[in-house]
Amino acid sequence: MATDYYGVLGLAQGATDQDIKRAYRRLARDLHPDVNPDPEAKERFQEVTRAYEALTDPEKRRIVDLGGDPFDAGSGGAGGFGGAGFGGLGDIMDAFFGGAATRGPRSRTRAGRDALIPVELELDESVFGTTKDITVDTAVLCDACTGAGTAPGTHPATCGTCSGRGEVQSVQRGFLGQVVSSRTCPTCSGTGQVIPQPCPKCGGDGRVRARRTLSVKVPAGVEDGMRIRLTGQGEVGPGGGPAGDLYVEVHERPHEVFTRDGEDLHCRVTLPMTAAALGTTLNLKTLDGEEELDIRPGTQSGSVLTLRAHGAPRLRATGRGDLLVHVEVQTPTRLDGEQEKLLRELAALRGEDQPGGDREAQGGLFSRVRDAFHGR
């Protein structure tokens, strides 16, 4: 059963060329593998592209309108029996021994390609969002001929090599008779038309390269490697065809204080041994400003303190991530006489001055370390 190529694009039979192009662009933007990694979306994208090819080629569309499938050998697209392209065995014999089935000329107007440009952001720009002006160098519509490719006052002419068919045929004599083969016309590249007087600005291509500045709105919470799509800001297609999309890829610069893990931020603070033992309050500079961080007495090195909702916003949900503060306790490496005396007195008061004594009686530092390793 022939595929309903109009239905694949969400169109009714009799849709205009412009309707077909518009429907294809709309679907391709959502299904393109660079945008949608879903395997089902990839298959759907191939199906949509196949439908677009079938309906933009005049001969293939004729087969579709007659109820056949131009890609199915049984529907006439490849010369099958009883299909829309051939009436039966007689038509097949004509194709081999004198006749020829042509695909018809293709349009000079084709869709443009997508473009990709990187943009570098500081951490606070990616966390809170920003607007960036970027310079883009792409193909744009030629303003002299508006995509027609012809010089002012002139028009395309029918190709004299293929007589407008877009194909040329060659005949070879073999054991069974004449064998006719077709290939794309080398003069008009399959369009069936030539431009006797090309536009002096674009040389007949219908587009020129130009540098322009665009403002890109970066949403709050974007991450390194993410892409922002600007619809219709990519390359204009040959013959003034519809432009592709422009993808802006985010590159986040490293921050001197904070590192990022998804929506959470991380940083490290170093505390003197005495501050960790006695407790203190730190004035911590965050991306939101200065915040007070309470250090409880007895805080150990390696502890992680959390400041809620001080991370990056969630792109597809409400709220923000957290700021995780990793504590490192600094042990002094040099002590003067008075400081050493005080520490020895403290060690004696805590029973930590003789770590090699009885484990139960002394409860010293080394015995507790051994207990930890032996699971006590």
> Can you tell me the distance from the alpha carbon of 29 to that of 12, in angstroms, rounded to the nearest whole number?
21
Nearest to 47 by CA among 75, 74, 19, 8: 8
Question: Which CATH code for domain 102-151+203-253?
Answer: 2.60.260.20
CATH fold match for the domains 102-151+203-253 and 254-331: yes
pLDDT band at 103 (very low <50, low <70, confident <90, very high): low
Give the pLDDT score at 194: 92
**pLDDT of 92 strictly over 50:** no
Tokens of 143: 């303003």
- Which CATH architecture fits 254-331? Sandwich (2.60)
Helix (H, G, I), strand (E, B) or coil at 14: coil
Per-residue b or e along 42-54, where b marks 16 or more CB atoms closer than 10 Å to that residue's CB = eebbebbbebbbb
* Average pLDDT score over residue span 322-343: 92
DSSP state of 63: H
Report yes or no on whether pTM surpasses 0.75. Answer: no
Helix (H, G, I), strand (E, B) or coil at 373: helix
First to last CA, the chain: 76
- pLDDT tens across 166-218, in order? 888 877 765 555 667 788 899 998 889 999 999 999 999 999 999 999 999 99
Indicate the domain borders of the chain: 102-151+203-253, 254-331, 339-376
Q: Could you count the other beta carbons within 10 Å of the beta carbon of residue 309? A: 11
